[in-house]
């Protein structure tokens, strides 16, 4: 099954409102869409969500790199996913999000060729998956108000963005806990916003408020700080920005720096590398979460297939499309309201509305 053509799209999706984290504010989902066509008539779709503040990529840099990546793959065997992805990684190692879109499209084609849904192609089975929902940075009062609204939908966990100053972050968690009662776990994410003393102060203050974990409290390179914080914190620590690839996973495991790993396909370079990260995690007895950037339901469906195929993925944070003002995806996963239902169609099981695609800027390589 040879790759005969690759199309790259500027995949812009408006948000309902700007969303804020400690690293900055996002006003639009400016994503990259890749379509891979083969000589068998099968077509694969992949999506990357560049987050300059996390992955160091923008949509513009990704679209600049994509033509070279596309030309490297033309004429290659589409089912040689690992060989294709390794070729892209050797050529442009610092473009994981752009690479992830190609990786995802390759896996879509390969799974379709095997006539298997992606979770089965990855050697797994369909299992129950439940996502949390995120409340972005705002005043404690406004975050509590949003949490009360979410509570009516029956969440199994609510995620709070933190990472400013200790008094305000503590007030945010306390306000939400008071608003929703004691039963629903709270997950927190500081996005590198604290130093060790601030992190210790916040996590000790919220340690008795049923907080499941804290994502990336410190700067990504501060593994010694993470290890020290882990020894002091009553709240488990999860690596996010410190974890891009399997080499990062191995360093985190050797340092015993965190309790959990957060795997994101747009951050890791796609499924090929994510499988390696999870293998390291399994060897280190470290459970994982599958997370997201601001993907549409296409990218989120691929993330969910990965989670379903790997039981070591214990948590799901696949709510990125909840903030989108428009859903351009046909098929794909569905939410009920937080339970995720995966499609059983071969491949990822999601495509893009042709009418939406017609308005997207497009480049074709054949």
- The answer to whether 240 is a known ligand-binding residue is yes
**Which among 274, 13, 304, 295 has a CA at the least distance from the CA of 131?**
304
pLDDT range class, residue 56, cuts 50, 70, 90: confident
Q: Rounded distance, CA 236 to CA 258, Å?
A: 8
pLDDT tens string 257-297: 999 999 999 999 999 999 999 999 999 999 999 999 999 99
Residue 20 has what pLDDT? 83
3-state SS of 303-339 is HHHHHHHCCCEEEECCCHHHHECCCCEEECCEECCCE
Q: Where are the beta strands (DSSP E) in 208-327?
A: 211-215, 237-239, 260-263, 287-290, 313-316
- pLDDT (average), residues 240-254: 98
- The answer to whether 27 is a known ligand-binding residue is no
pLDDT range class, residue 300, cuts 50, 70, 90: very high
pLDDT tens string 182-200: 999 999 999 999 999 999 9
Which residues, other chains included, contact 317 with Cβ-Cβ below 8 Å and sequence gap of 6+? Answer: 131, 132, 134, 159, 187, 262, 289, 290, 291, 292
**Which among 23, 11, 31, 22 has a CA at the least distance from the CA of 293?**
31
| Domains of the chain, first to last | 3-115+354-365 (3.30.390.10), 120-351 (3.20.20.120)
Q: Rounded distance, CA 318 to CA 199, Å?
A: 25
Structure letter (DSSP) for residue 216? -
pLDDT tens string 132-169: 999 999 999 999 999 999 999 999 999 999 999 999 99
Q: Rounded distance, CA 53 to CA 341, Å?
A: 31
Ramachandran angles phi, psi of 220, nearest 5°? -60, -35
Cβ proximity of 33 and 104 under 8 Å: no
**Which among 179, 210, 177, 214 has a CA at the least distance from the CA of 196?**
214
Report field, pTM of the whole predicted structure over 0.95: yes
Which residues, other chains included, contact 312 with Cβ-Cβ below 8 Å and sequence gap of 6+? Answer: 278, 281, 282, 287, 288
Residue 54 has what pLDDT? 85
Task: Tell me the DSSP string of 10-45.
Answer: EEEEEEEEEEEETTEEEEEEEEEEEEEEETTS-EEE
- pLDDT (average), residues 74-88: 98
* Pairing of β 186-189 and β 313-316: unpaired
Output the CA torsion 160→286→233→141 (10° steps): 10
Which residues, other chains included, contact 34 with Cβ-Cβ below 8 Å and sequence gap of 6+? Answer: 6, 7, 8, 9, 45, 46, 47, 48, 66, 70, 101, 102, 104, 105
* pLDDT reading at 22 higher than 90: no
**What pairs with residue 93 in β-bridges?**
none
Integer angstrom CA distances of residue 168 from 124, 172, 203, 304, 316: 43, 6, 13, 33, 27
Which is catalytic among the residues 16, 159, 161, 267?
Answer: 161
Which is catalytic among the residues 2, 126, 264, 276?
Answer: 264
Instruction: For the chain, give the percent of residues with pLDDT over 90.
Output: 95
* pLDDT reading at 333 higher than 90: yes
More confident residue, 20 or 318: 318
Give me 275's structure tokens: 């499988």
pLDDT tens string 107-133: 999 999 999 999 999 999 999 999 999
Residue 23 has what pLDDT? 81
* Whether residue 362 lies in the annotated active site: no
Residue 60 CA to its chain's centroid (Å): 20
Residue 249 has what pLDDT? 98
* Whether residue 153 lies in the annotated active site: no
pLDDT range class, residue 329, cuts 50, 70, 90: very high
- pLDDT (average), residues 342-366: 97
Residue 24 has what pLDDT? 82
Residue 18 has what pLDDT? 87
Span between the terminal Cα atoms of the chain, in Å: 15
Residue 266 has what pLDDT? 97
Residue 123 has what pLDDT? 98
* pLDDT reading at 210 higher than 90: yes
**Which among 307, 297, 279 has a CA at the least distance from the CA of 118?**
307
Strand order in the sheet with 158-161: 133-135, 158-161, 186-189, 211-215, 237-239, 260-263, 287-290, 313-316
- The answer to whether 344 is a known ligand-binding residue is no
**Which among 288, 285, 23 has a CA at the least distance from the CA of 162?**
23
Q: What is the helix (H) or strand (E) element at residue 205, kind and residue range?
A: helix 196-206
State the chain's mean pLDDT as an integer. Answer: 97
At which residue do the structure tokens 């890791």 appear? Answer: 268
pLDDT tens string 27-55: 889 999 999 999 999 999 999 999 887 88
- pLDDT (average), residues 175-185: 98
Instruction: For the chain, give the percent of residues with pLDDT over 70.
Output: 100
Cβ proximity of 63 and 32 under 8 Å: yes
**What pairs with residue 254 in β-bridges?**
none
């Amino acid at each position: 099954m040879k790759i005969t053509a690759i199309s790259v799209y500027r995949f812009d999706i408006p948000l309902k409102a700007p969303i804020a984290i400690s690293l900055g504010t996002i006003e639009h989902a400016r994503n990259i869409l890749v379509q891979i066509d083969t000589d068998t008539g099968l077509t694969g779709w992949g999506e990357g969500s560049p987050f300059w503040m996390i992955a160091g990529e923008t949509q513009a840099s990704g679209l600049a790199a994509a033509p070279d990546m596309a030309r490297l793959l033309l004429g290659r065997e589409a089912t040689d996913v690992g060989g294709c992805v390794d070729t892209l990684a050797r050529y442009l190692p610092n473009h994981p999000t752009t690479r992830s879109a190609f990786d995802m499209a390759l896996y879509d084609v390969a799974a379709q060729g095997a006539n298997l849904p992606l979770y089965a192609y990855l050697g797994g089975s369909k299992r129950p998956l439940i996502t949390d929902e995120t409340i972005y940075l705002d005043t404690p009062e406004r975050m509590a108000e949003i949490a009360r609204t979410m509570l009516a939908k029956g969440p199994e966990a609510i995620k709070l963005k933190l990472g400013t100053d200790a008094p305000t972050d503590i007030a945010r968690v306390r306000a939400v806990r008071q608003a929703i009662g004691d039963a629903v776990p709270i997950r927190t994410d500081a996005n590198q916003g604290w130093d060790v003393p601030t992190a210790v102060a916040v996590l000790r203050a919220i340690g008795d408020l049923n907080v499941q974990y804290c994502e990336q409290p410190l700067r990504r390179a501060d593994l010694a700080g993470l290890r020290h914080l882990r020894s002091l914190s009553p709240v488990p620590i999860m690596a996010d920005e410190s974890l891009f690839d399997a080499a990062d996973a191995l360093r985190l495991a050797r340092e015993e720096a965190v309790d959990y790993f957060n795997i994101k396909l747009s951050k890791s370079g796609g499924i090929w590398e994510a499988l390696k990260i999870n293998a390291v995690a399994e060897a280190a007895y470290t459970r994982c979460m599958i997370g997201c950037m601001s993907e549409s339901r296409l990218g989120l469906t691929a993330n969910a297939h990965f989670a379903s195929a790997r039981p070591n993925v214990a948590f799901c944070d696949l709510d990125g499309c909840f903030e989108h003002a428009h859903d351009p995806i046909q098929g794909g996963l569905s939410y009920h309201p937080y339970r995720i239902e995966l499609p059983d169609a071969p491949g990822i099981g999601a495509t893009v509305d042709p009418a939406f695609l017609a308005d997207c800027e497009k480049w074709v390589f054949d």
